[in-house]
Amino acid sequence: MCGIGGIVQRGPRGVDAAALDAMSGAMRERGPDDHGRWLAPGVGLVHRRLSIVDLSPAGRCPMPNEDGSVQVTFNGEIYNHRQLRERLLARGHRFRSHADTEVLVHGYEEWGDGLVRELDGMFALAVWDAARERLLLARDRAGEKPLYYAASPDRVAFASSLNAVAEALGADREVNPAAIQCYLAHSFIPGPHTAWRGVSALPPAHLAAFERATGRFSVERYWDFPAERPARMGVAQAERAVEEALDGSVRARLAADVPVGAFLSGGVDSSLVVALAARHAPGLSTFALGFDEREHSELPYARRVAKAVGTAHHEVIVREADLLDAVPELVWQYGQPFGDSSAIPTHLLSRFTRGSVKVALSGDGGDESFAGYWRAAAGWYAGIYGRALPTGIRRHVVPRAAGALASVGLGGVGARVSALNELSLARPGAGYTNSESWLDALDRVMPPAARAAAAGHDPVACRTGRAWEAGSASLLQQVLYDDFQVLLPAAYLTKVDVASMAASLEVRAPFLGHPFLEAAWRLPDAMKLRRGRRKWLLKRIAARHVPRDVIYRPKQGFALPMAAWWRGRLPRVLTTLMADSSAVRHGWIEAAPVRAALDEHVRGARDHATRLWLVLWLELWARITVDRSLPRSASLSEFG
């Protein structure tokens, strides 16, 4: 697990070494163990190393082939590198190290761009092919590892972090107003957009190539889910297939030359991962985080799972003061507005875990494959409803009927019918609302000039509408596909990657191995969502390994007690910042709606915790990253 970056430009002029060093420095926490730099006319590559496999100097990057005509810089882990090594050795390739990076070097020599299809792992990689004067970039199938780039006909700059790409841009950085609009609407910026004009996120399962001779830059998909309807199989067969596939994925992710532990929230996914991992790693260390506010803390469930499977369990309590100290540094690490407040406990848990191990397993990805979110159930119900009523009735009759319900005192029922009806008319995966963000109040919180600057950009279409287009796909596959394309990589996996790498901790997600993803994709819909019960099959499997009442309980999520904390010190912090707001001065937001939301929340009139958090993060990003008027080492306690 590392940080990578580089610049490739046309012409013989040398790449600015100082710019490369600045890019490397911006990723220091991603790779504190070592750093490397390679320069050639018009080409520069950098690497920050977090040593996990082959800790010797032989594993340093950028890594060349024998004659130096191929250079690879790589972030991630290749879990099938030993099998690939054997195949390459049989083809006559010779190895100097035991690092998985060297498999990429010789694999590119053997298979060219086809290398990425051979890889089982999480990765962002760059290959410079001197003979072809060609740069290849690639990102793993699920999007566990980030890769950002700024491309023009004259130059490409790329890196694992937005801050590093921004260093390459220098004074040419310009904020993207459409991205600010998306952030306020969704709490994150859906890829490929970023906060900076001209900077894009390479989508998951895609590769990009820059031909230096012509200046041509191209992006193409190299993997997708199988274009197959769910298979027919019984419950017992499905359980065996899922458990065997997940067990293999867990076992592969336990391999390392450093200690490996696991996050344990006490939820279904992390509990099952830990139970399977403990079979292969007796005495496995597990790590959990909780709060003094017991209604938000899952520590009792995590303890029960740890006791049941026999792990060495460790816990940490997070309080509001910890948040005040951690936020500015994390705002800088994300490099752009990122409004999921669970990034804070994820980082603090990662920092706590890093005190004992260098690698941690997680339960990320289980909800996406097994319909764990309410959106999947809502889409499923809407599909059934849509089949029951003709389109004409849903377009013309139901809206009037829903409105009439309000006139007889049944407005709540009417609103629910209207929402279900609208969802049934949308493309699968495209129905989206968010009452907690500023989505429904963008015309109030964003000044007219900001909205005009983002004109032509549809924030809802940016967030949704990426349903699976294969004619053979089931309704549930179409709904789940949207989460895999947008929410998982741009929100959840970005959250985990940055929060953990800011603590120099590698996080591995067994649910996201592509062999497991494909096996889960082929399951019958009813094994995932059964009569409205989400993650039906996965819960059956998990309940065989850990206490049933831990598994069959309401989904809690890994969230801060934000509603309560926004009645503590945070209102004073935001009030102080808004008195001289950088975000207002840049023209991104209006101050009055923010002050009104803060007042309503403190009085208990309405819960605006999410909206207030979005504004706080945006304000800090403006000061720390854009204006550079506030150091990343600051604490919010200075403001309240």
Determine contact, residues 72/107, Cβ cutoff 8 Å. no
Token code pair at residue 168: 């390459």
Contacts for 112 with CB less than 8 Å, ≥ 6 apart? none
State the average pLDDT for the chain.
93
> Is residue 601 situated within a structural domain?
no
Rounded to whole angstroms, what are the CA distances from 539 to 385, 511, 522? 27, 14, 18
Q: In this structure, are 13 and 74 located in the same domain?
A: yes
Q: Which of 142, 144, 115, 145 is nearest to 127 (CA)?
A: 115
Q: In this structure, are 503 and 475 located in the same domain?
A: no
What is the reported pLDDT for 322?
A: 94
Q: Which of 493, 521, 551 is the last residue of a domain?
A: 551
Q: Tell me the pLDDT band of 339, cut-offs 50, 70 and 90.
A: very high
Q: In this structure, are 250 and 217 located in the same domain?
A: no
Q: Determine the average pLDDT of the residues in 314-319.
A: 95
Q: In this structure, are 344 and 385 located in the same domain?
A: no
Token code pair at residue 172: 């040419």
Q: Evaluate if residue 473 carries a pLDDT over 90.
A: no
* Total domain count, the chain: 3
Q: Which of 134, 133, 132, 101 is nearest to 119 (CA)?
A: 101
Find the domain containing 523 and state its range.
235-371+484-551
Token code pair at residue 39: 């320069």
Q: Give the pLDDT confidence of 234-281 residue by residue, as tens digits.
A: 999 999 999 999 999 999 999 999 999 999 999 999 999 999 999 999
* CATH number for the domain that contains residue 94: 3.60.20.10
Q: Give the pLDDT confidence of 573-610 residue by residue, as tens digits.
A: 999 999 999 999 999 999 999 999 999 999 999 999 99
Token code pair at residue 16: 């600015």
> Is residue 317 situated within a structural domain?
yes
Q: Which of 190, 221, 252 is the last residue of a domain?
A: 221
pTM of the model as a whole? 0.94
Q: Tell me the pLDDT band of 407, cut-offs 50, 70 and 90.
A: confident
What is the reported pLDDT for 429?
A: 52
> Is residue 612 situated within a structural domain?
no
DSSP letter string over 121-161? EEEEEEEEETTTTEEEEEE-SS--S--EEEE-SSEEEEESS
Q: Tell me the pLDDT band of 386, cut-offs 50, 70 and 90.
A: confident
What is the reported pLDDT for 469?
A: 64
* CATH number for the domain that contains residue 246: 3.40.50.620
Q: Evaluate if residue 408 carries a pLDDT over 90.
A: no
Do you find a cis peptide bond into 282, omega within 30 degrees of 0?
no
Classify the phi-psi angles of 125: left when phi > 0, otherwise alpha if psi is within -120 to 50, otherwise beta: beta
Sheet holding 206-211, edge to edge: 63-64, 70-78, 121-129, 134-139, 206-211, 216-221
The amino acid present at 56, given as its one-letter code, is S
The mean-pLDDT minimum among 25-29, 177-181, 464-468 falls in: 464-468
